[in-house]
Amino acid sequence: MARTRSGCLGAVTVRAMHRLLVLYPPPSDPDHFRSYYQDMHLPLAAKLPGLRGYRYSVDVAAGEGESPYYCAFEADFDDAAALSAAQESPEGQALRADVPNYATGGVVVLNYELRSG
């Protein structure tokens, strides 16, 4: 429940969404990672069928201490089926095959349904 302008409680409607989260540990060559990722990989990601939007950041900081990740990428899809279809598509397979070209530190791939709180 959220408050309206008048201060009354009202229902919150949130459209269902499924998120792909990709976390990249530090690469051996951060400059190569950044330039290849931005110039080559992200244009491939933008072609994923069913993609609602994406965001990314490099030089990811930790709240305390050293961050275990250099880059984070988020992509949103209507649901798990849309994400699965995107991953199995020719564009998704090309995207996956491209990862070793820049991600020398490995990659962690997660996906989940977004829920409002």
Using one digit for the tens of pLDDT, what is the confidence trace for 10-68? 555 456 799 999 999 999 999 999 999 999 999 999 999 999 999 999 989 999 999 99
> How is residue 34 annotated by DSSP?
H
Q: Both tokens of residue 105?
A: 């530190």
User: 15-114 — its CATH code?
Assistant: 3.30.70.100
CA dist 1 and 4 (Å) reads 9
> How is residue 112 annotated by DSSP?
E
Q: Both tokens of residue 14?
A: 């949130």
pLDDT band at 6 (very low <50, low <70, confident <90, very high): very low
Does the predicted TM-score (pTM) go above 0.75?
Answer: yes
CA dist 19 and 115 (Å) reads 11
* Torsion angle of C-alpha atoms 42, 68, 115, 80, degrees rounded to 10: 50
Q: Both tokens of residue 116?
A: 């409002």
Q: Supply the pLDDT for residue 18.
A: 96
